[in-house]
Amino acid sequence: MNIKSLAKILIVGSVFLLITSCNMNRSKTEKAPHTGALEALTIWENQKFSMFIHWGLYSIPAGVWEGEQIKGYSEQIKGHAKIPTEGYRKLAAQFNPTNWNADSVALLARKAGMKSIVITAKHHDGFCMFDSKYTTFDVVDATPYKKDVLNGLAAACKRHNLRFGVYFSLIDWNYEGAVPFVSVRNSDSIPPLHHQYNLNQIEELLTNYGEVSEIWFDMGAPTYNQSKEIATLVKKIQPNCMISGRIWNDQGDFVVMGDNLKPDFKMGAPWQTPASMFPETWSYRSWQQRPDVEAKINEKIHDLITVVSLGGNYLLNIGPTGDGTIVPFEEQVLEGIGQWLKENGEAIYGTTVTPIGTQSWGLITARDGKLYLNIINFPENDKLTIEGLNSNIKSAYLLSDSTISLPYSTEYTGLEVDLANSTNRDKYATVVVVEYEDELRYTPKNVIYPDGDGTFILTWDNATKFHSFSGHDYYSTKATVVKSRWYISGNNKQSYQVNIACSPGAPEPLKLSVNSEGHVIPLSYAEDSLKNELTSHTVNSMQLYLDEMNVIELSLEDKSNPHKGLNIEALKIEIK
Ligand code: H79
């Protein structure tokens, strides 16, 4: 965008800064404001790996209707096969899952290394897997099974030390007060009667099943007020229950990626990838090809590592059959992941994101003083390199066997670990631990050096951007930039002048932080903010002690909504 066509201007207020050391470990996502919420969010973020269960009446036809294999997600067979509501309701008479054993399911989740289970309380078909007093189309009133599935699973989760969450679709193909089924686009509006019905059932879910770790809303196109009202109700009953971003209108606590999608960019809000065993379906499909368990274990371990290395949670789904049997293939996949985690879980649980991006050989996770190099493609020359890493390295060894120490060298361009004598290689992902002293020192590729006049020029283009998702339904959701960051390579000059000119889409108070918390420059809009040109405003001379490597971040001052974007069109920050 032409800088001259910018509409609004903002300038910095004055502030004197005292800069201490740069700590690049502090690259966690920004958290919600009050302590209880922050704690609940941290617990949720630290789960890393959880079980999703798609199970309901649709598990009985299992992707076949009137002898025909029905394409499209099998949990939506009513929509895909255009089954009339009366006919679909009759499935309830067949629901008697004698093989369902909530304890076995919970134990399988434990064995897989999962920390919670999220089950479909109600999917788009409107059938409730819990005893709802607002409908008879539920597992207790309408089936020969007569038992409340959620109740049994919540109790089993408690017994086996797992957190318990529920999936709840905001659309309903059974409820008379809902918009009649139009298409499997599933993004219909929600009439007032249906909204009230949802609120009633959400209240039941959060009242009758003990602590609910997350409520996973999905689809529909609620209004802003409807989303807000649902979120308020959830927090009123269970303040620590995490709300999925598919409540829409920025009312969720965490962002949900599209089905089976991982971000290929950095995230600046808590987030999760929901994944199915095969992208074709979530619920059981009798004709699903399940060719190769090991290949699937490999795929899912790599996805888990990728998601965690980007700071997210991985929610991996199983689809039990109509009689409650866990599909053996799915059980084997989970056990395979669990075995890997048993040896390598230290590289996953409680880890943080590093500023070091994806490497050709794999992905990096971290905790204080340690980097975990998760090798996905073994380098042919047995050399694992991280360009730009200049920390004081203490040791390098295999996570699975710390007695095997690996030779390493630190050249001026970065770190190189020699894998030649690491014989103990994992068939899915080998993890190398690198321990370092002091802080993590890393020079990213987009580091900014002073220009010929000794000025650092920070723009929207040379920023590292951190994203969230914002939208009013599945299809309108777009990535927003919630934070931008610059790495600048400084010297010890003590007095820098900072000039900022910025064109926001809508004026919101911003803040610029220098080298982590505590050194914040509040930004306010200038009186003349409707000028037509982005002119450079010489503001204040301030004392800025720059380290060798410095992290400058721009974000909204008000962080109460983690999804709200900066809404910036163009920006120029000069530090000279
Ligand atoms: O419960 C599962 C799905 O039934 C539900 N969300 C997950 C967790 C869902 N309902 N509607 N949608 C998802 C809309 C999804 C649409 C798309 Fe696609 C998924 C568009 C692209 C990927 C499915 C596959 C439809 C087209 C291709």
Q: Going by CA atoms, what residue is nearest to atom 22 of ligand 1? A: 259
Side-chain half-sphere CA neighbours of 380 within 13 A = 0
Pocket test for ligand 1, best of 118, 122, 214, 259 (most atoms within 8 A of CB): 259
Distance 258 CA to ligand 1 centre (A): 8
Query: Which phi-psi region, left, alpha or beta, contains residue 269 (left: φ > 0; alpha: ψ -120 to 50)?
Result: beta
Residue 97: name the closest of 69, 55, 66, 156 by CA: 55
Residue 521 pLDDT class (50, 70, 90 cuts): low
First to last CA, the chain: 24
15 has a pLDDT exceeding 90: no
Q: Going by CA atoms, what residue is nearest to atom 7 of ligand 1? A: 259
Alpha helices in 160-240 (DSSP H): 192-208, 224-237
CA distance 247 to 252: 6
DSSP structure class, residue 4: G
3 has a pLDDT exceeding 60: no
Query: Which two structure tokens, joined as six digits, stand for 529?
Result: 């903010």
Q: Is 197 in the pocket of ligand 1 (CB under 6 A)?
A: no
Side-chain half-sphere CA neighbours of 480 within 13 A = 22
CB 213 within 8 A of CB 114: no
Q: Of all atoms in ligand 1, which is nearest to the CA of residue 76?
A: 4
Q: Which pLDDT does position 502 carry in this prediction?
A: 74
Q: Which pLDDT does position 99 carry in this prediction?
A: 98
Residue 413: name the closest of 388, 391, 437, 395 by CA: 388
CB 270 within 8 A of CB 244: no
17 has a pLDDT exceeding 70: no
Q: Is 282 in the pocket of ligand 1 (CB under 6 A)?
A: yes
Q: Is 259 in the pocket of ligand 1 (CB under 6 A)?
A: yes
Residue 7 pLDDT class (50, 70, 90 cuts): very low
Distance 472 CA to ligand 1 centre (A): 16
Distance 72 CA to ligand 1 centre (A): 9
Query: Which two structure tokens, joined as six digits, stand for 326?
Result: 């866990």
DSSP structure class, residue 536: P
Q: Is 55 in the pocket of ligand 1 (CB under 6 A)?
A: no
Q: Is 456 in the pocket of ligand 1 (CB under 6 A)?
A: no
Q: Going by CA atoms, what residue is nearest to atom 27 of ligand 1? A: 72
CA distance 56 to 75: 8
> For strand 266-267 and strand 464-470, is the pairing parallel, antiparallel, or unpaired?
parallel
Mean pLDDT of the region 438-443: 92
Q: Is 283 in the pocket of ligand 1 (CB under 6 A)?
A: no
Surface-to-core class of residue 368, CB atoms within 10 Å of its CB (0-12 exposed, 13-18 middle, 19+ buried): exposed
Question: Which tens digits make up the pLDDT trace of 187-224?
Answer: 999 999 999 999 999 999 999 999 999 999 999 999 99
Query: Which two structure tokens, joined as six digits, stand for 105?
Result: 């399911």
Query: Which phi-psi region, left, alpha or beta, contains residue 203 (left: φ > 0; alpha: ψ -120 to 50)?
Result: alpha
Q: Is 331 in the pocket of ligand 1 (CB under 6 A)?
A: no
Give the number of residues written for the chain: 576
CA distance 85 to 78: 8
Q: Is 473 in the pocket of ligand 1 (CB under 6 A)?
A: no
Q: Is 280 in the pocket of ligand 1 (CB under 6 A)?
A: no
Question: Which tens digits make up the pLDDT trace of 107-135?
Answer: 999 999 999 999 999 999 999 999 999 99
**Residue with token string 């943080």:** 352
**Residue with token string 């499997």:** 184
Q: Which pLDDT does position 2 carry in this prediction?
A: 32
Question: Which tens digits make up the pLDDT trace of 391-414?
Answer: 999 999 999 999 989 999 997 789
CB 56 within 8 A of CB 74: no
DSSP structure class, residue 204: H
- The fraction of the chain above a pLDDT of 70, given in percent, is 88
Q: Is 73 in the pocket of ligand 1 (CB under 6 A)?
A: yes
> For strand 271-275 and strand 313-318, is the pairing parallel, antiparallel, or unpaired?
parallel
Question: Which tens digits make up the pLDDT trace of 324-349?
Answer: 999 999 999 999 999 999 999 999 99
**Residue with token string 């909504």:** 561
Per-position b or e across 110-120, b if 16+ CB within 10 A of its CB: bbbbbbbbbbb
Query: Which two structure tokens, joined as six digits, stand for 103?
Result: 């304890």
Q: Which pLDDT does position 19 carry in this prediction?
A: 24
**Residue with token string 């199983």:** 318
Neighbours of 204 (CB within 10 A): 18
* β-strand partners of 128: 122, 138
Distance 269 CA to ligand 1 centre (A): 23
Query: Which two structure tokens, joined as six digits, stand for 233?
Result: 């109700």
Q: Going by CA atoms, what residue is nearest to atom 26 of ligand 1? A: 72
pTM of the model: 0.92
List Cα–Cα distances, 288 to 85, 239, 279, 436, in angstroms.
26, 40, 11, 47
Distance 260 CA to ligand 1 centre (A): 9
Query: Which two structure tokens, joined as six digits, stand for 22?
Result: 């740069």
Q: Going by CA atoms, what residue is nearest to atom 1 of ligand 1? A: 282
Q: Which pLDDT does position 538 carry in this prediction?
A: 45
CA distance 388 to 479: 28
CB 160 within 8 A of CB 110: yes
CA distance 198 to 172: 9
Pocket test for ligand 1, best of 73, 283, 316 (most atoms within 8 A of CB): 73
DSSP string, 495-526: EEEEEEEEEESS---EEEEESSTT-EEEEEE-
Q: Which pLDDT does position 494 carry in this prediction?
A: 74
Q: Is 284 in the pocket of ligand 1 (CB under 6 A)?
A: no
Distance 280 CA to ligand 1 centre (A): 9
Q: Going by CA atoms, what residue is nearest to atom 25 of ligand 1? A: 72
List Cα–Cα distances, 69 to 81, 183, 452, in angstroms.
9, 19, 68
Per-chain mean pLDDT for the chain:
89
CA distance 408 to 390: 13
Q: Of all atoms in ligand 1, which is nearest to the CA of residue 75?
A: 4
